[in-house]
Amino acid sequence: MNLYEQRSSNIRRTWALVLGFLILVIAIGYAIAWYYGNPFILYVAVFIAFATNFYAYWESDKLVLSLSHARPATREEFFDLYTVTENLAITAGLPKPKLFVIDDPAPNAFATGRDENHAVVCATTGLLAMLSRAELEGVIAHELSHIKNRDILLMTIAVVLAGFVAIVADIFLRMSLFGGGRDNDKQGNALIMILAVVGIVLAPIAAKLLQMAVSRRREFLADASGVLLTRYPEGLASALTKISGANIPMRHASHATAHLFIDEPFGKAEGSKLAWVEGLFATHPPIHERIQALLSKQQA
């Protein structure tokens, strides 16, 4: 499968995953409504799910930029960022995205927005200070590929929907601490009730795992697509080496937006006894695997 076929498949998977999230939310609302014997809860859950999606679609970039403490980047202050982005956007056939920066020494970057015409690319000042122009081109090409491949919409929706599932589950669990639910005389439904409660407890975990899986898969595709823009895989490989080697956690890192960045914004606990556990729940594939994939493409 070539990159163009992967892109078409990627778009189909995007809407399939969005539908899957909505079904999950409706299922949770149904379980809560059944447990409390109140169908109105289901109607509320469905309404909030669609309202949340609507908000995420129209205001995703503002939400992410606010959480990241980003500010607009001027051409005068960040000339290389502007010119590199302009040139690569022309090459990719994309409108030039809005540019923002985060005042943070940790080297990192991300793209967000709802489509090609409403996209944002954001980089930290640490990244801009650390990378050469060729390396910066590799990173910006990676982020523009997320825009071209229609990743940014799904990634933002995943943030909002996963958070919504977690909030609904938390509300239900808190309510259950104060009693309520169906009468005890319905013993025949005890097993179903247990399964419903277990499902509600596990739903946030499932949403998070799906969010991470989406991010990991698409990082490799964005790396490959970015190389097609620059024709220089060593640039992105070298940038990833520097970013990983710095291992500086961002000041305002958020679990809600971690999967948007080109690398983990929390740093890595190297040598920790729990490092393998952290790897299981990491939002990004290991840097060395991405670098190896890039350099192997060059050799091929």
Residue range 142-158, pLDDT digits in tens: 999 999 888 887 777 66
Give, for all 300 residues of the chain, the pLDDT tens digit. 555 665 666 667 667 767 777 777 777 778 777 777 788 878 887 887 778 777 777 887 888 899 899 999 999 999 999 999 999 999 999 999 999 999 999 999 999 988 899 999 999 999 999 999 999 999 999 999 999 888 887 777 666 666 666 666 666 666 555 555 555 444 445 555 565 566 666 666 666 666 665 666 788 889 989 999 999 999 999 999 999 999 899 998 877 788 889 998 987 655 555 455 455 556 678 888 999 989 885 555
Backbone φ and ψ of 195, nearest 5°: -65, -40
Distance separating alpha carbons of residues 98 and 81, to the nearest angstrom = 11
Task: State both tokens at 193.
Answer: 């009730």
119-124, strands of its sheet edge to edge? 71-72, 98-102, 119-124, 109-113
- End-to-end, the C-alpha distance of the chain in Å comes to 16
Parent domain of 98: 3-299
What does the CA dihedral 4, 9, 11, 15 come to, rounded to 10 degrees?
Answer: 180
Distance CA 26, CA 45 (A): 7
CA separation (Å) from 34 to 182, 199, 295?
A: 8, 13, 54
Contacts of 79 (CB under 8 A, 6+ apart): none
- Distance CA(148)–CA(150), nearest Å, equals 5
Classified as helix, coil or strand, 124 is strand
| C-alpha atoms less than 13 angstroms from C-alpha of 179 in its C-beta half-sphere | 2
- Cα separation, 181 vs 57, in Å, equals 35
Mapped onto helix, strand or coil, the DSSP state of residue 100 is strand
Tell which phi-psi region holds residue 97, choosing left (phi > 0), alpha (psi between -120 and 50) or beta. Answer: beta
Distance CA 184, CA 107 (A): 57
Number of H helices, E strands in the chain: 10, 4
Residues tagged active-site: 143
CA distance 110 to 124: 9
Which residue from 254, 256, 163, 165 is spatially nearest to 202, judged by alpha carbons?
Answer: 165
Q: Domain total for the chain? A: 1
pLDDT, residue 256, reads 74
Pairing of strands 98-102, 119-124: parallel
